[in-house]
Amino acid sequence: MLVPMRAVLEAADRYRYGQGAFNINSVSQAQAAVEVHELFRSPAILQGADLANGFMGGRADFVNATIEDKQKGARNIGSAVRRFAQESPVPVALHLDHGRDFESVKAAVAGGYTSVMIDGSSLPFEKNMELTREVVKYAHERGVTVEGELGILAGVEDHVFSGSSTYTNPLDAVEFFKKTKVDCLAVSYGTKHGAVKGKDVRLRREIVVAVKECLRHEGIFGVLVSHGSSTVPQHVVREINALGGCLSGTGGIDLSELKSAIASGIGKINVDTDIRLAVTRNMRELFFRCPSLQKSASAGAVYRLLASKPDRFDPREFLTPVMD
C-alpha cells in the first residue's frame, strides 16, 4: 500500500521507535528495499534524492540534471514504487530527499511521491521558513507530507561543503514547526553525511529532548529526523579496500548512539552511505572476484555462476548483487 509519509511518522511517534528511511537510485533498489521491509514486517520509507531523480530520469551526469530530467525520473520511480507498494502488505512511502527548490518538489509530487523534503537550511532562518511554508501549503493540499531542515550538518551536504556543524537551536526548531506546519524536521545534532563522520561521534541528544518536550507541551505534532546516520561498518570498508578500493578516514555513527537518539525523540533515521558502501562492495566482489571473499554468503550463487561461466554477459546477473 502506498501511503503519505505522515502515516508512517505518526506510528513511529506514537510507539516511539525510529523509522528507517533508505535512499534508492534505481527500480531494482526500490524492489529490494520493499522486500526487506516485508521480511521485517516494517513500514517502509524509500527516498530518492533530488539528483537521484535526475539520474533515474536517464541523466548519467546527474549533477547537471535539469528540471525535465527530474520530472522524468520522478515519474519513472514513482510509477514503479506505486506498483511494488500496491502488491505489498506493508505501507510504503516515497519521499523526496533534500529537495533543493520548489520546482524539484513539484516534479516529485507530479511523479507520485507521497512526501517531499524542502531543504532550505542554507537560507537565513526567515527565508527558510518562508520557502518551507509555501511548500507545505502546496504539498498538504495534495495529501503530501513535508520535511524541512534547520541547522547545517558538517560535511558534504547538497554539494556545498561546510567544515563545521551548526547545531540546531531548539527554540528556533519549535518556532519553525509552529510557523511552517511541517510534519517533520531534519536537525543538526552531531551527525554528518557521507562515510567520514569522525571518530567516536557523540550526538547532542539534549537538542532532541528539548525540541520534543516543547512540542509536547504545546500539543504540536512534529517528528525529528536524523540525517547522516549511516554506521559505516568497518568490515565493509575493509572488504572494499581489499578489492582494490581506497577509502580512508572512514567512520560512522555507533548503533548505540542511534538507539539513545531514538529514546531521546528521533523518529526518522536517514541512511544512504551504508547502502552505497554495500553496493560497491558487492560490485567489486563480482567483478574483481577476490579469492578470499569467494565464500561470502551475499550473492554467493551469482558469484559462483559468473566464476564458473566466464562467458556470461547478462546484466540481470549484475543487478542481483546490487539488490543484495
Least spacing, CB of residue 45 vs Zn ion, in Å = 13
Find the binder of ligand G3H among 2, 9, 44, 51 (CB under 6 A): 51
Query: Looking at beta carbons only, is 72 or 95 nearer to ligand 13P?
Result: 95
In whole angstroms, the minimum distance from the beta carbon of 184 to ligand G3H comes to 15
Q: Number of C-alpha atoms within 13 angstroms, CB side, residue 89?
A: 6
Q: Which is nearer to ligand 13P, 37 or 227 (CB)?
A: 227
CA 182/CA 144 separation, integer angstroms: 11
Burial 140-170 (b: 16+ CB within 10 A, else e): beeebbbbbbbbbbbbebbeeebeebeebbb
Partner whose binding site includes residue 230, from ligand 13P, Zn ion, ligand G3H, none (CB under 5 to 8 Å by kind): ligand 13P
Counting contacts by CB under 6 A, is residue 76 touching ligand 13P?
no
Amino acid making up residue 87: E
270 near ligand 13P, judged by CB under 6 A:
yes
Name which of residues 214 to 253 contact Zn ion (CB under 5 A): 227
Spatial separation of the C-alpha atoms in residues 210 and 56, rounded to whole Å: 39
Measured CA angle at 3 (ends 177, 13), to 5 deg? 45
Bridge pairing between strands 19-23 and 266-271:
parallel
Least distance (Å) between residue 78 CB and ligand G3H: 17
The reply to whether 100 sits near ligand 13P by the rule CB under 6 A is: no
Contacts of residue 73, defined as CB under 8 A and 6 or more positions apart, other chains included, come to 48, 52, 53, 54, 55, 56, 57, 58, 59, 65, 111
Report d(CA 187, CA 177) in Å as an integer: 12
8-37: which residues touch ligand 13P (CB under 6 A)? 23
In the chain, the amino acid numbered 32 is A
The residue annotated as part of the active site, out of 50, 97, 183, 272, is 97
Report the residue number, 23 or 114, with the smaller CB distance to ligand G3H.
Answer: 23
Q: Is 271 in the site for ligand 13P (CB under 6 A)?
A: yes
Binding to ligand 13P by residue 150, rule CB under 6 A?
no
Residue 38 or 101 having the CB closest to ligand G3H: 101
Active site residue 97: yes
> Any residues with CB less than 8 A from the CB of 209 and at least 6 apart, and which?
264, 265
Comparing CB distances to ligand 13P, the nearer of 257 and 274 is 274
Taking CB atoms, the residue at the shortest distance from Na ion is: 121
| Residue 121 binds which entry of ligand 13P, Na ion, ligand G3H, none, CB below 5-8 Å type-dependent | Na ion
Burial of 173 (0-12, 13-18, 19+ CB in 10 A): buried
DSSP 193: S
Backbone phi, then psi, for 288, in 5-degree steps? -100, -15
Show contacts with ligand 13P in window 176-215 (CB under 6 A). 193-194
Shortest distance (Å) from residue 48 CB to ligand 13P: 11
Phi first, then psi: what are they for 41, rounded to 5°? 50, 45
Identity of the residue, 23 or 214, whose beta carbon is nearer to ligand G3H in the bound complex: 23
Chain residues binding ligand 13P by CB under 6 A are 23, 97-98, 193-194, 227-230, 270-274
Catalytic residues: 97
